[in-house]
């Protein structure tokens, strides 16, 4: 199968009825860059910047951050890279940073919340990203945005850093896109207000589903009590896709869900056309896209959204098998 996937490397992913699905790769370390060309991914849809912090013995300085971001952009060449700002806290602790013990770390001081409360750290990172872009396009997204205010504040920090670089005569990015990750269920009911403030959004289904179902994604006692292929999960994904289509906001999915062929099939059926996934998912998902008829998939999956079942995985599998396997 590996050889089959390799053959598809240069083949763009179009469904049988002609819908282009852009397949991107998730990354976080230098080693990931080596596989970018091999996967045939059209870019990096999620670069997890906290990995550099997690593998370092001490807080990476601004110049070390700039150097990494520069290597990432160099390796990607013309392919787009979406850098996610530090997503620390929760399950991602740093040995050299003192952290308060929290009763509920997943619901606690993490991601963009930490960045907004410690703006010096976030600004240093934004400065490094802008410096690394050196006149190239730059895409930045903020993790776990739970309100419009948080996004507004985070975006203002980007503006501040762009102005800082300009005052020093540094080259500005040739194009700047600032986006939000959709991971907190609260924003699903505020997308009409949030989306116009963003240049793009990306759905982090790992976190979104754990919050939607109130079930820790890392706790096997509860993490398999719910299914991503269930009516509530798919209806949440449908609502996000529709709101983005209405406002013309580019949207991708970057949780692990996007990298599993059956889940990706359901996402394509719901109208998603940009999926970012672990490198190993690109080949299998491309194979699915190439043999899928989106319109037939859409009809089949939307009929299942009204089911009262806790999972429609088997039904989706039957549908997918009929359509592509
Ligand atoms: C997610 O939550 O789906 C996501 C992509 O972010 P992470 O897995 O890094 O929390
Ligand atoms: Mg997340």
Q: Whose CA is nearest to atom 10 of ligand 1?
A: 207
- Is 0.85 exceeded by the ipTM? yes
* Mean residue pLDDT across the chain: 95
- The pLDDT of 104-115, averaged and rounded, is 94
Three-class DSSP category at 182: strand
- The pLDDT of 170-186, averaged and rounded, is 97
Q: Give the model confidence (pLDDT) of 75-97 as tens digits.
A: 999 999 999 999 998 778 888 88
Long-range contacts at 122-126 (CB < 8 A, ≥ 24 apart) = 122/85, 122/86, 122/154, 122/157, 123/157, 123/160, 123/161, 124/62, 124/65, 125/49, 125/65, 125/85, 125/86, 126/85, 126/157, 126/158, 126/161
Whole-number Å distance between alpha carbons of 154 and 180: 10
Q: Whose CA is nearest to atom 9 of ligand 1?
A: 48
For residue 26, pLDDT beyond 60: yes
For residue 325, pLDDT beyond 60: no
Q: Whose CA is nearest to atom 6 of ligand 1?
A: 204
Q: How far is CA 285 from the centre of its chain?
A: 16
Residue 7 is predicted with a pLDDT of 87
Q: Is residue 237 a contact partner of residue 270, using CB atoms and an 8 Å limit?
A: yes
pTM (two decimals): 0.97
Residue 111 is predicted with a pLDDT of 96
Binned at pLDDT 50, 70 and 90, residue 25 comes out as: very high
For residue 48, pLDDT beyond 60: yes
For residue 291, pLDDT beyond 70: yes
Cα 322 to middle of ligand 1, angstroms: 31
Whole-number Å distance between alpha carbons of 239 and 241: 6
Pocket test for ligand 1, best of 52, 207, 251 (most atoms within 8 A of CB): 207
């Amino acid at each position: 199968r590996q050889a089959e996937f390799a053959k598809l490397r240069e083949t763009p992913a179009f469904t049988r009825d002609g819908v282009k699905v852009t397949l991107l790769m998730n990354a976080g370390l230098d080693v990931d860059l080596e596989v970018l060309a091999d996967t045939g991914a059209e870019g990096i849809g999620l670069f997890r910047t906290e990995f550099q912090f997690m593998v370092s013995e001490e807080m990476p300085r601004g110049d070390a951050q700039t150097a990494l971001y520069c290597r990432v952009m160099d390796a990607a060449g013309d392919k787009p890279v979406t850098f996610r700002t530090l997503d620390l806290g929760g399950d991602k602790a740093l040995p050299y940073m003192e952290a308060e013990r929290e009763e509920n770390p997943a619901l606690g001081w993490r991601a963009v919340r930490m960045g907004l409360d410690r703006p010096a750290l976030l600004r240093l990172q934004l400065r490094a990203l802008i410096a690394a872009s050196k006149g190239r396009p730059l895409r930045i997204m903020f993790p776990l945005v739970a309100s419009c205010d948080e996004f507004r504040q985070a975006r203002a920090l980007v503006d501040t850093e762009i102005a800082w670089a300009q005052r020093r005569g540094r080259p500005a990015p040739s194009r700047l896109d600032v986006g939000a990750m959709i991971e907190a269920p609260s924003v699903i009911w505020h997308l009409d207000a949030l989306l116009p403030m963003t240049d793009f959004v990306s759905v982090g289904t790992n976190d979104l589903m754990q919050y939607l179902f109130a079930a820790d994604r890392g706790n096997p006692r509860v993490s398999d009590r719910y299914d991503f292929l269930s009516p509530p999960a798919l209806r949440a994904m449908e609502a996000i896709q529709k709101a983005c289509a209405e406002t013309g906001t580019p949207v991708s999915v970057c949780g692990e869900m996007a990298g599993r062929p059956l889940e990706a099939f359901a996402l394509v059926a719901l109208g998603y056309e940009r999926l970012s996934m672990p490198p190993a998912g690109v080949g299998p998902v491309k194979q699915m896209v190439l043999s899928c008829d989106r319109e037939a998939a859409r009809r089949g999956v939307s009929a299942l959204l009204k089911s009262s079942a806790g999972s429609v995985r088997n039904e989706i599998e039957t549908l997918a098998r009929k359509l592509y396997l």
